[in-house]
């Protein structure tokens, strides 16, 4: 979802995606990034002080022209090799982190009232700047219906799992606790019985000061501390996704990922928006990207991203959000799954539309593409996304939206990873994408334009993987006693 109803005098004229009034993101060209600027993690944990300048040259002169001298700078990301070294997490970036741009990406914080849009546009003209944009804000859930509490024991509650043949899939492959799924969302209820034993130690990357959002937005609960406590007390969006992936099946169908483990990363703060009765998750691009990189560095093989920024609402000069961190995750062998969006139109949301990401739409109970599901040629397939029973912050909830179709596909991807590991076969995102698409079931009314290959069939995808492995091994030459 994109916030469009709030005035942003600091943004460019015509900007339709909400961005924070006091910060922007700048990625420098390869070889241009100074090595001494600390990471956000160290700054926000008190291990280092932010820098007051970036390059000592043209960038700083332009920033001072627009913002004066009250400027603070830090690296958005930490080096994977330096997490054990407080105050030194800006050192030791490897070649992949450099090439993908993560080692060269900085958050510049400026005084309130600074014309962020104009400043970003001016910096983009410098040859030393690879990309620059306002610090956009993603909001979730998208515009689909709010969750409803209902009878968790009803037959209808189990129908979405039957549609995708989840029981057959879990009987075929129970999952593997060594398979880690990164859940980038609003956090979870750590003590919910449905996820007992299924959660690894997670992280909270939310850092939004109360005065860093526009009037009319009220931040709820904790929203400015980096720590290892990804607890959500207000939204429930991440908890809905967690139940679909890893629920134990106490009072709801079991999670489709089976024994796989979830790394919960809270990157969306709880917020109350004007004229919205229910709290939403609100996350700055810098905090979301930090969470995705951290999930990769913690060993997640699959990452679920049920958030997005609409392409048509971005400034034409802005880079596509999450591009660098998506590239980094793919280079590290991660399988990325994202919700396509909930505006019912043919358009693109980022990160779902990035090449290499498995974009997921939603179907209703009648196996037809949901009216709210965002369409496009980038959508790979669909999964149930209307009145899906899952865990809530307290008890259970029925949830609607592509946000909740995406974790079905992420969980199916995790089952494929577990099955491949059981049979000693490497697997990557390209193969997972192909298996899910080729095994998809047809829509009830025939092909649905812009909704991908069909509906997820988890059991068929597993069978297709095994058939592929069997064919490959049948082609191997026979072994003799001498080897």
> b/e per residue, 266-294, with b = 16+ CB within 10 A?
bbbbbbbbeeeeebbbbbbbbbbbbbbbb
3-state secondary structure of 439: coil
The contacts of residue 447 (CB under 8 Å, 6+ apart) are none
pLDDT value of position 151:
57
Backbone angles phi, psi at 428, to 5 degrees: -135, 180
The reported pLDDT for the residue numbered 1 is 43
Higher pLDDT, 69 or 458: 458
Note the pLDDT of residue 477.
78
Question: Above 90 in pLDDT, residue 213?
Answer: no
**95, 105, 334 from 81: Cα distances, Å:** 12, 17, 18
pLDDT digits (tens, 9 = 90+) for 273-330: 887 888 999 999 999 999 999 999 999 999 999 999 999 888 888 899 999 999 999 9
pLDDT in tens, 19-58: 999 999 999 999 999 999 999 999 999 999 999 999 999 9
Mean pLDDT of 388-404: 94
Cα–Cα distance measured from residue 262 to residue 198, given in angstroms and rounded to the nearest whole number: 6
In this prediction, residue 123 carries a pLDDT of 97
For residue 482, the model assigns a pLDDT of 63
Residue-level pLDDT at 480: 67
Span 55-102, pLDDT tens digits = 999 999 999 999 998 899 999 999 999 999 999 999 999 999 999 999
Q: Are 410 and 481 in contact (CB under 8 A)?
A: no
144 pLDDT exceeds 70?
no
The number of C-alpha atoms within 13 Å of 95 and in the hemisphere containing its C-beta is: 1
Q: Label each residue of 380-436 as H, E or C.
A: EEEEECCCEEEECCCCEEEECCHHHHHHHHHHHHHHHHHHHHHCCCCCCHHHHHHHH
Query: Residues 6 or more apart from 171 whose CB is under 8 A from it?
Result: none
Q: Is the pLDDT of residue 13 over 90?
A: no
**What confidence tens digit (pLDDT) does each residue in 148-159 have?**
444 555 677 889
Measured between alpha carbons, how far is residue 78 from residues 63, 296, 358 in Å? 24, 12, 26
- Can you list the domains of the chain with their CATH numbers? 19-136 (no CATH), 141-469 (3.40.50.200)
The model carries a pTM of 0.95
Model pLDDT for residues 372-385, shown as the tens digit of each residue? 999 999 999 999 99
């Amino acid at each position: 979802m994109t916030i469009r109803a709030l005035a942003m005098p600091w943004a460019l004229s015509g900007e339709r995606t909400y961005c924070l009034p006091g910060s922007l993101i700048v990625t420098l060209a390869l070889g241009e990034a100074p090595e001494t600027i600390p990471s956000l993690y160290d700054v926000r944990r008190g291990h280092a002080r932010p820098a007051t300048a970036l390059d000592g040259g043209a960038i700083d002169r332009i920033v001072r022209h627009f913002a004066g001298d009250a400027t603070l700078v830090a690296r958005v990301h930490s080096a994977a090799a330096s997490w054990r070294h407080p105050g030194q997490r800006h050192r030791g970036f490897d070649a992949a982190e450099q090439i993908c741009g993560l080692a060269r990406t900085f958050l510049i914080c400026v005084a309130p009232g600074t014309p962020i849009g104009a400043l970003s546009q001016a910096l983009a003209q410098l040859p030393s700047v690879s990309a620059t944009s306002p610090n956009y804000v993603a909001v979730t859930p998208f515009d689909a219906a709010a969750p409803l509490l209902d009878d968790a024991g009803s037959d209808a509650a189990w129908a979405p799992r039957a549609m995708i043949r989840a029981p057959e899939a879990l009987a075929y492959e129970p999952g593997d606790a060594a398979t880690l799924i990164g859940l980038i969302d609003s956090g979870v209820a750590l003590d919910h019985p449905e996820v007992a034993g299924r959660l690894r130690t997670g992280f909270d990357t939310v850092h939004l000061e109360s005065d860093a959002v526009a009037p009319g937005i009220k931040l709820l609960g904790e929203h400015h501390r980096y720590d290892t406590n990804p607890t959500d007390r207000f939204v429930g969006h991440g908890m809905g996704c967690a139940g679909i992936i890893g629920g134990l099946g106490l009072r709801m169908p079991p999670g489709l990922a089976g024994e796989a483990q979830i790394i919960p990363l809270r990157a969306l703060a709880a917020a109350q928006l004007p004229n919205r009765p229910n709290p939403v998750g609100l996350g700055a691009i810098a905090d979301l990207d930090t969470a995705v990189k951290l999930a990769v560095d913690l060993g997640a093989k699959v990452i679920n991203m049920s958030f997005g920024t609409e392409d048509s609402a971005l400034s034409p000069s802005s880079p596509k959000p999450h591009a660098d961190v998506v590239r980094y995750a793919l280079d590290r062998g991660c399988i990325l799954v994202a919700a396509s969006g909930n505006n019912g139109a043919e358009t693109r949301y980022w990160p779902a539309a990035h090449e290499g990401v498995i974009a997921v739409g939603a179907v209703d109970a009648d196996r037809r593409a949901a009216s709210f599901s965002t369409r496009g040629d980038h959508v790979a397939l669909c999964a149930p996304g209307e009145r899906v029973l899952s865990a809530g912050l307290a008890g259970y909830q029925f949830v609607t939206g592509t946000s909740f179709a995406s974790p079905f596909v992420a969980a199916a991807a995790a089952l494929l990873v577990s099955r491949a590991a059981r049979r000693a076969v490497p697997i990557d995102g390209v193969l997972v994408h192909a298996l899910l698409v080729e095994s998809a079931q047809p829509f009830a009314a025939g092909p649905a334009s812009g909704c991908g290959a069909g509906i997820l069939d988890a059991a068929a995808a597993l069978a297709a993987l095994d058939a592929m492995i069997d064919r490959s091994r049948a082609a191997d030459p026979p072994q003799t006693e001498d080897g």
